[in-house]
Amino acid sequence: MAKTQETQEESLEKQLWKSADKLRKNIDAAEYKHVVLGLIFLKYTIRD
């Protein structure tokens, strides 16, 4: 059961980072930090 939850979390994490990569193509580097900081925040709030 734990493996299933871990794979779901990895899947979500991979999807979030793929989304960030897509956004990075269209956003200036100075503004991209806001996207990354938001994803890092989500990463740590989802795990708790």
The region, left, alpha or beta by phi > 0 then psi within -120 to 50, assigned to residue 18 is: alpha
Give residue 23's pLDDT: 73
pTM of the model: 0.41
Decide: 13 and 43 in contact? Cβ < 8 Å: yes
CA 38 to chain centroid: 8
pLDDT digits (tens, 9 = 90+) for 1-48: 456 666 666 788 888 888 877 877 777 778 878 878 888 888 888 765
